Structure 1
Amino acid sequence: MAVSLSLANLAKLPPDVARPGYERNALKAGILHFGVGNFHRAHLQVYLDRLMNGGRDLDFAVLGAGVTPYDLRMRDALAGQDWLTTVVEQSADRSAARVTGVMTGFVPPMDGRAIVAALSDPAIRIVSLTVTEGGYFVNPSTGRFDPGHPAIVADARDAGEPKTVFGLILAGLKARRAAGVAPFTVMSCDNVPHNGKVCRDAVAGLAAAQDPAFADWVRGNVAFPNAMVDRIAPATSDRERAITRDAFGIEDAWPVFCEDFIQWVVEDDFPAGRPAFEEVGAEFVTDVTPWEMMKIRILNGGHAIIAYPSGLMDIHFVHEGMEDPLVRAFLQKVEREEVIPVVPPVPGTDLDGYFRKVEERCLNPKIGDTIRRLCLDGSNRQPKFIIPTIADRLKAGHGIEGLALASALWCRYCAGTTDSGAVIEPNDPNWERLAAAAAAARSEPSAWLGMRDIYGDVGESAVFAAAFARHLVALWAGGARATLQRYLTGA
């Protein structure tokens, strides 16, 4: 019979389930985290759990916070189990469960006053975020913070009642400065290029709309380290809850399943102090850019290359896509011929070896990662993961056939049906716009490339436009499988 997860029941867990080796009442919150989701609990909380099991940094426990209804649901689920989480790490041939206990509480979500009070606490020295790639109010056409976004305009107008994460961070910083308390470090853990800089631009950009002098103070006094984060942690469904119950004997309302791979490369800029993450596998560097570009272009770009042909061929899981010879060959050809050659060297890293590890991770059948998840939010991800590589190759005069096909596959996917005629449910915040552009592109491909906020100058390249149009025509005429076959054989 499965045991309900709680502090009182830790000793009743099956012996093969690892559990906290530290006393929970000895923990003190030192990190306030916005966006307590699966990735955060499979990444930052796992590093902290490793440290605390070694008796280190017990004063850097996590206090949750959030600004969305999702955060309310997560808080309710975790509160019912004393903020404990079951993390199930899976390789192709092994699964292991660990209960982590580094979280001490959760500020009531969307309660601005309570969140600002928590941010004002001198014990909080790091404010970390996982608010998704699209949560930083960046204008895709400029790649810069958008001060005209309605949510930002509202927070600028009513600084006393902030609703966004960045408005709350600003209010916390103001309260600390007024009380003579040193600012906390703001640490983005999102999969965004130069995530620290992007986060600083959002905080300082909002501050500039409220008080330009305070914006200058933020830029000069608050640290925003860049970081490269990596671990696949798919959404939790009843499938994961059932496995946690049946295979590990734990009733957990919101367990986290993840791969056994984990990586974190961080710029060492924490004036208020930090946990000794380097002792448990994190790597601290002076400039994270090389690792960041490697991951974003090879791994995240690779996900997009896998995703859209698989989606059009009605493939459900990522590992099933990788088991399709055409999809895997497409990934290998585009990565080795077009992506990897324009990724700058990374200290101590063999790029082809890194790509082989990406293949191994995507082939892991235990994760249950879905093609639909990889296809999600292309309007935000393509300008970060795919289009910069195309731009670099065009600038150098190199070929872009494979990447043009990857882009045409995305366009065809957004038309809303698979090659079999099955309906693709909306899978992007801008789905309505994308679907209209994809429908128009069937007869006039420039209708898709004309989305300048996504493609920028790349969409105006005659070389890219010709290749894109040729592939899109082929996809509508013969489908993804036949088009991949022709590309791979050079026909």
Structure 2
Amino acid sequence: MTSYKLNNKNLSKFTDKVLIPEYDRSTIKTGIVHVGIGGFHRSHEAYYTDQLLHDPANSDWGICGIALLDFDTKIYNTLKEQDGLYTLIVKELDGSLTKRVIGSIVEYLFAPENPIQVIEKMASDDVKIITLTITEGGYNYNEATGAFDFTNPLIQHDFENPQAPKTIFGYLTQALKLRKERGLAGCTIQSCDNIQGNGHMTERMLLSYVNKAEPDLVPWIKSNVSFPNGMVDRITPATSEKDITLLKETSGVDDAWPVVCEPFKQWIIEDNFTSGRPAWETVGAQFVEDVVPYEKMKLSLLNAGHSVLGILGALMGYETIDESVHNEAIRTFLNTYMDKEVTPTLGDLEGVDLKKYKQSLLQRFGNIYIKDQIDRICSESSAKIPIFILPTVNVQLEKNGSIDYAAFVIAAWAIYSIGVDEKGNALNIKDAHGTLLKEKALVAKENPASFLDLESVFGKLKDSKKFVDAYSIAYQNILKYGVEKCVTQMNNKALNNI
């Protein structure tokens, strides 16, 4: 099949093979600046916004995508070459593909190349919302204290070089300062990351930075900027070369970086916007007064479930999440963890059938066409585990409930952090604290509990004898018997206790 490079000029050539934007992109005005234009943003917020833009009444809500880090050079260059266009490939449960070109990113900027241009765009009066997908680690807080980490060298750089910042906090501070100085309206800063109370977290961390960098700006921010909480959900694995080739061969679309995702999507948002907002509810988002119960459910079931499958599966030599969940022993272990340890911490969830939700998660994890890479799921576990798993542990400890399954996962993570699976193969560990984790993991071979000394990850968890004992037993058993035999034994024990 003849293929054509994806760009505005060639869009009409794809109409019989893929869905394309049915709106005039040249008339779209930027109302949203988004920082972090990776796969998840492009499968989620940019998708919702693309659907919205098909109604001419919403033409003020185009997106300017910001590539914040040097690491983001590739995605910036790809979007620049493709006029901001990319293909979203939805991998349905039956193996079929729904392919759609997304057109909502109408501008794109590379922050390291021109930081002033990015600050000016954020400060533009046309921009009403600044949204973020900067990963859990991007919020720069210490898990043990909950405080902003002022020791981060990049933060120190931003204090000294306010016009050439490197962190989101430096950019937001200078943009909001310009808005204030120019007498412009405030805006909404909306996190789309997997952090409970992500709006509250964004506000607290930003104000911590501003209080030191531009203290006179704090009252203005408190009066003119809103930080809605939100819960986001759509499994979006890394794009493979196979995905790129298949798209080109079956649809004639030469897209350097398409996005693949599952069919399920969810976006629940606190309706707290300073200067107006898109009507995302017309394309499937849900606006509520209180997001907390929903995000707690999602983080402690879906995100924690991903981490459980990733860590245990990695040690057993699996490469993708569907392989891990189709191992009956691991699947049963995860099911029991969700039922026995997570569910008792969730309370009442109005309008949610929790049993069906948990069943749907196992189905989604098991989608054999998604092929979500385990090393992606396990990346930055030092930032994820305190958010996804430890809140469940802490509540269960307070209630004197079960923590054995969570302790087992943490023990498995300690062994995983050594960097070798049970077959002797090297693990591809991606973590900002990878070197420190490995150092602690090697010491833990002689003294398992020493891994819990990582206060920035575990807080004061090492002070709980109940947890330390369960963790230490699990650690020794995994080393002695391997993951599969241990989880099978735990499953059998749970079955016998019913």
Residue of structure 2 in register with 1:121 after alignment: 124
Deviates more, 1:221-230 or 1:147-156: 147-156
Residue of structure 2 in register with 1:104 after alignment: 106
Question: Aligned AA for 1:62?
Answer: I
TM-score between the two structures when normalised by the length of structure 1? 0.97
Structure 2 residue 481 is matched with structure 1 residue 475: no
Question: Aligned AA for 1:438?
Answer: A
Per-residue CA deviations over 1:397-438 (Å, capped at 9, x if unaligned) read 112111111111111111211111111133321111111211
SS in structure 1 opposite 2:459?
helix
Structure 2 residue 199 is matched with structure 1 residue 173: no
CA apart distance, 1:308: 1.3
- Matched residues in 1 for 2:459 and 2:175: separation? 37
Equivalent runs, 1:451-470 vs 2, <5 Å: 451-470=454-473
Residue of structure 1 in register with 2:45 after alignment: 44
Deviates more, 1:48-57 or 1:152-161: 152-161
- Matched residues in 1 for 2:160 and 2:111: separation? 22
Question: Aligned AA for 1:221?
Answer: N
Runs of 4+ in 1 over 4 A off after TM superposition: none
Deviates more, 1:456-465 or 1:222-231: 456-465
Q: Is the 8 A contact 1:236 1:257 kept in 2?
A: yes
CA apart distance, 1:440: 1.5
Structure 2 residue 386 is matched with structure 1 residue 383: yes
Q: Percent of pairs identical after alignment?
A: 33
Name the count of aligned residue pairs.
491
- Matched residues in 1 for 2:355 and 2:148: separation? 34
- Matched residues in 1 for 2:162 and 2:471: separation? 46
CA apart distance, 1:14: 4.9
Structure 2 residue 62 is matched with structure 1 residue 61: yes
- Matched residues in 1 for 2:174 and 2:406: separation? 44
TM-score between the two structures when normalised by the length of structure 2? 0.96
CA apart distance, 1:100: 1.0
Given candidates 304, 309, 320, the residue that maps to 2:312 is: 309
CA apart distance, 1:247: 2.8
CA apart distance, 1:16: 3.7
Equivalent runs, 1:345-384 vs 2, <5 Å: 345-384=348-387
Q: Is the 8 A contact 1:162 1:168 kept in 2?
A: yes
Per-residue CA deviations over 1:39-91 (Å, capped at 9, x if unaligned) read 11111111111111233411110112132123322121111111111000112
Per-residue CA deviations over 1:180-222 (Å, capped at 9, x if unaligned) read 1101211111111211111112221111012323123212321
Equivalent runs, 1:42-441 vs 2, <5 Å: 42-93=43-94, 94-110=96-112, 111-441=114-444
Q: Is the 8 A contact 1:338 1:400 kept in 2?
A: yes
- Matched residues in 2 for 1:164 and 1:440: separation? 33
Per-residue CA deviations over 1:115-167 (Å, capped at 9, x if unaligned) read 11212211111111111110011112112322332222222233333222221
- Matched residues in 1 for 2:99 and 2:305: separation? 29
Residue of structure 2 in register with 1:26 after alignment: 27
- Structure 1 residues without counterparts, runs of 5 or longer: none
Residue of structure 2 in register with 1:10 after alignment: 11
Per-residue CA deviations over 1:342-400 (Å, capped at 9, x if unaligned) read 11222210112111111111011111201111211111111111111011001001121
SS in structure 2 opposite 1:147?
coil
- Structure 2 residues without counterparts, runs of 5 or longer: none
- Matched residues in 2 for 1:361 and 1:216: separation? 45
Structure 2 residue 445 is matched with structure 1 residue 446: no
Question: Aligned AA for 1:302?
Answer: G
Question: Aligned AA for 2:101?
Answer: V
SS in structure 2 opposite 1:144?
coil
Q: Is the 8 A contact 1:126 1:184 kept in 2?
A: yes
- Matched residues in 2 for 1:56 and 1:3: separation? 32
1:394–1:387: structure 2 CA closer, same or farther, 3 Å change rule?
same
- Matched residues in 1 for 2:294 and 2:466: separation? 30
